[in-house]
């Protein structure tokens, strides 16, 4: 037998076992020529190459989709930031009255609130302008009418309410959601308002306590919870004025 590795021809009286080469010591059945070893290596590497070729496009596709989502989110945040910046810049000079629109909402879906909303008039909010006129004079702002308060149309859809636990991330998401909601429901036909106050009215006989009202500077928006009772109009106006001031920073 000739060794496949060293080409030594085995003789009959060799001391090495029949399965082993007396010269180089290899086992005949375990040795493979270089050509066969290369062929085995090629067969082993091929599936890995095919796997890499097949999965690479999927990975690239997933990465691209994620990048697109991140880019869209960044554009939305940029738009919101720029809108807040220009809105704030236009309302901080006090060289003209701020346009305030109050949008009534039937907060408890009751007939009492519906009737009260139907009876509301813009003159019922004049006390808010008088209060702002006194405050403007106290701070040396030379403007006779700081506010131009208008009644907006009744909004049928309920606004998203802020989270109760004060979580920062949830509050940010709610703020963005509230701004988007206000954009979709706002069908006021007059000049674009500077401040929008969505006022939810409740029957005081069935709602002794109301949720906390809130006003946000970003977007100059406010949610006010008020009573559907003319005797409580002064209290309602106080809450509206308070939350409106929050929108001014």
- The reported pLDDT for the residue numbered 84 is 52
Q: How far apart are CA 70 and CA 119, in angstroms?
A: 48
pLDDT per position as a tens digit, 57-108: 555 556 676 777 667 656 655 555 555 555 555 555 677 899 999 999 999 9
User: Is 70 exceeded by the pLDDT of residue 13?
Assistant: yes
* Pairing of β 221-227 and β 214-216: antiparallel
Number of domains in the chain: 1
pLDDT per position as a tens digit, 103-115: 999 999 999 999 9
- 204-210: average pLDDT: 95
The neighbouring-strand residues paired with 214 are 223
In a domain? residue 119: yes
In a domain? residue 28: no
In a domain? residue 80: no
In a domain? residue 46: no
Q: How far apart are CA 172 and CA 160, in angstroms?
A: 13
Q: What is the CATH number of the domain that holds 118?
A: 3.40.390
Q: Could you tell me the two tokens for 109?
A: 């879906």
| Alpha-carbon distances, residue 85 vs 77, 80, 132, 185 (angstroms) | 12, 9, 23, 23
Percent of the chain scoring above 90 in pLDDT = 50
- The reported pLDDT for the residue numbered 49 is 46
| Cβ atoms 210, 225 nearer than 8 A | yes
In a domain? residue 104: yes
- 153-165: average pLDDT: 93
In a domain? residue 32: no
The neighbouring-strand residues paired with 151 are 102
Is the pLDDT higher at 104 or at 36? Answer: 104
The 3-state secondary structure of the chain reads CECCCCCCECCCCCCCCCCECCCCCCEHHHCCCHHHHHHHHHHHHHHHHHHHHHHHHHHHHHHHHHHHHHHHHHHHHHHHHHHHHHHHHHHCCCCCCEEEEEEEEECCCCHHHHHHHHHCCHHHHHHHHHHHHHHHHHCCCCCCCCEEEEECCCCCCCCCCCCCCCCHHHHHHHHHHHHHHHHHHCCCCCCCCCEEEEEEEECCCCCCCCCCCEEECCCCEEEEEEECCHHHHHHHHHHHHHHHHHHCC
* CA angle in degrees (0–180, nearest 5) for 229-234-236: 65
Other C-beta atoms lying within 10 Å of the C-beta of residue 122: 11
| Cβ atoms 31, 4 nearer than 8 A | yes
In a domain? residue 60: no
What is the domain range of residue 203? 96-247
In a domain? residue 56: no
- 177-203: average pLDDT: 95
pLDDT per position as a tens digit, 218-248: 899 999 999 999 999 999 999 999 999 999 8
Is the pLDDT higher at 73 or at 170? Answer: 170
- Nearest Cα neighbor of 116 from 17, 240, 231 is 231
User: Is 70 exceeded by the pLDDT of residue 31?
Assistant: no
The neighbouring-strand residues paired with 98 are 147
């Amino acid at each position: 037998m000739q060794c496949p590795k060293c080409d030594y021809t085995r003789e009959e009286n060799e001391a090495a076992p029949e399965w082993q080469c007396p010269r180089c010591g290899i086992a005949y059945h375990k040795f493979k020529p270089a050509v066969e070893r290369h062929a085995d290596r090629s067969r082993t590497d091929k599936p890995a190459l095919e796997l890499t070729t097949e999965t690479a496009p999927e990975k690239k596709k997933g990465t691209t989709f994620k990048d697109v989502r991140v880019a869209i989110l960044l554009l939305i945040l940029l738009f919101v930031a720029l809108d807040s910046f220009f809105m704030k810049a236009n309302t901080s000079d006090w060289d003209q009255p701020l346009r305030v629109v109050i949008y009534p909402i039937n907060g408890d879906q009751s007939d009492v609130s519906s009737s009260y909303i139907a009876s509301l008039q813009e003159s019922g909010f004049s006390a808010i302008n008088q209060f702002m006129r006194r405050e403007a004079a106290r701070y040396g702002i030379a403007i006779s009418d700081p506010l131009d308060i208008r009644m907006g149309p009744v909004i049928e859809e309920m606004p998203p309410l802020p989270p109760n636990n004060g979580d920062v991330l949830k509050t940010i998401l709610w703020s963005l959601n509230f701004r988007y909601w206000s954009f979709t429901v706002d069908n006021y036909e007059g000049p674009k308002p500077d401040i929008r106050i969505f006022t939810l009215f409740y029957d005081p006989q069935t709602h002794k306590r109301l949720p906390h009202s809130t006003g946000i500077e970003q977007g100059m928006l406010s949610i006010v919870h008020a009573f559907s009772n003319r005797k409580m109009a002064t209290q309602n106006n106080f809450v509206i004025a308070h939350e409106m001031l929050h929108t001014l920073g």
